Amino acid sequence: MTVKFDLLVLGGGSGGLAHAQKASEYGIKAAVIENGPLGGTCVNVGCVPKKVMWYTSQHAHYIGHAGDYGFDVVMNGHDWSRLKEGRDRYIARLNNIYAGNLARREVELIRGTARFIDPNTIDVDGRRYSADRIVVATGGYPIVPRLPGAELGFTSDGFFDLEARPERVAVVGSGYVSVELAGVFNGLGSDTTVLIRKDGVLRSFDRMLGEEVRVAMETAGISLESRVLPQALERTKGGLELVCSDGRRFGPFDGVLWAIGRAPNVEGLNLEAAGVARDAAGFVPVDDWQRTNVEHISAVGDVTGRVALTPVAIAAGRRLADRLYGGMEDRRLDYRMIPTVIFSHPPIGTIGMTEEEARQEFGDDMCVYESRFTPMYYALSEEKQRTMMKLITAGQEERIVGCHIIGDGADEMLQGFAVAIRMGALKKDFDDTVAIHPTSAEELVTMR
């Protein structure tokens, strides 16, 4: 027997849950199919537990500066297992909250692995379900390179399974996952090496951010090695060693973290049976309305390959429900001006165009404002960490098209500025805003 719904959502991550719950508010009979813990990557092996680890590392940073303010504080070590136990309890509570939210909205939770039978029918471990509309929201997973011994390392998923902190650790990769987790390891006392394929980190972001975070990482004691092309990972008597194509060997390490990108979680979905297209990297391409090439099948979140951020998946899922079921025909997510934060040490906040992108689009009709300073927090410290900010404007009216910040507090200050920038704020609007003193954020409204 086939059970019929109005809507089937494949995946219980941020985007899928947001869409199903919003659809239910419009009276839609919806079900979510999930074979793992609710909340997807973000809640279980991403944003949420990562932020807990970042806070932990920040505490070490603050303790190190406590003496500058007259406190007699001694660091007596850190209990990783206790931290993990508390973090895991917190995540379990969130899983239960998500389940409760579905129940309150009368969205059915179907446990199992989804597989298309035809464009309207899904098999879940031998049970069949059908719907007029189906949304693919199965997310992604971290890539493990195909090279000898790769299984000796671990990914960002495995990072959260670690029962103890490795004393010597290598992080392979140059993106935000690499930068964030390397900062956590280093902040908690691991001898940390970051191995990057080219010459810099965060290469898809504004150049200032990548250059400055590299300086901060090296100043903090992280070793960065460039032009590393891994060939094999070997276990030796001393530990793990990474063998490179140019003959160099790095190690020994107690742990090696692969942070080389993510792939779409579509294996086993049997998308071919539904006629759903995939791109060369396996992602499910969608148009501006989250539609796949099959009219009644949509996709949201990381599985689409578009801006892999939890708030993006949530926003896309809710807007899709508004359009399909709420009568909002023009409702969709605008991907052009999305703020994001990297929880490095110090954190990074960024929105809009990089300087290079702005020059390509506007040529000489753009302007860059920059500020470099040491925050007041370090006024009594010999060890100082500077903050850098950049505003990019376009046209005679100097509309702000990019804002990039690296420094303490960047993660919190960006949200409010992002609202203004998305609304089309001009440099004059920033200039006319009274500064809050003394803060780092005031620099964004006092640049000249």
* Residue pLDDT, tens place only, 61-104: 999 999 999 999 988 889 999 999 999 999 999 999 999 999 99
- The burial class, CB within 10 Å (0-12 / 13-18 / 19+), for 423 is exposed
Smallest CA-to-CA distance from 137 within 39, 38, 12 is with 12
pLDDT for the residue 1: 86
Across-strand partners of 241? Answer: 234
Measured CA angle at 121 (ends 117, 125), to 5 deg: 65
Q: Which fold has domain 346-445?
A: Enolase-like; domain 1 (3.30.390)
Contact 390, 370 (CB under 8 A): yes
Q: Is there a common fold for 150-260 and 346-445?
A: no
Q: What is the pTM of this model?
A: 0.95
The CA distance from 375 to 335, in Å, is 32
The domain ranges of the chain are: 2-141+263-325, 150-260, 346-445
The two structure tokens encoding residue 398: 């100097």
Low-confidence ranges of the chain (pLDDT < 70): none
DSSP state of 263: E
* Residues identified as active-site: 437
Instruction: Summarize pLDDT for 378-427 with one digit per residue, the tens.
Output: 999 998 999 999 999 999 999 999 999 999 999 999 999 999 999 999 99
Q: Give dist(CA 276, CA 424) in Å, integer.
A: 37
Q: Give pLDDT, residue 142.
A: 97
Q: How far is CA 337 from the centre of its chain?
A: 16
Determine the Cα–Cα distance for residues 62 and 14; give it in Å rounded to an integer: 32
| Contact in structure between 371 and 212 (CB atoms under 8 Å) | no
Domain 2-141+263-325: CATH superfamily, name plus number: FAD/NAD(P)-binding domain (3.50.50.60)
Assign domain 150-260 one CATH number from 3.30.70.270, 3.40.50.150, 3.40.50.300, 3.50.50.60.
3.50.50.60
Q: What's the farthest any 2 CA atoms get from each other in the chain?
A: 72
CA dist 367 and 273 (Å) reads 51
Q: In whole angstroms, give the CA distance from residue 80 to residue 405.
A: 31
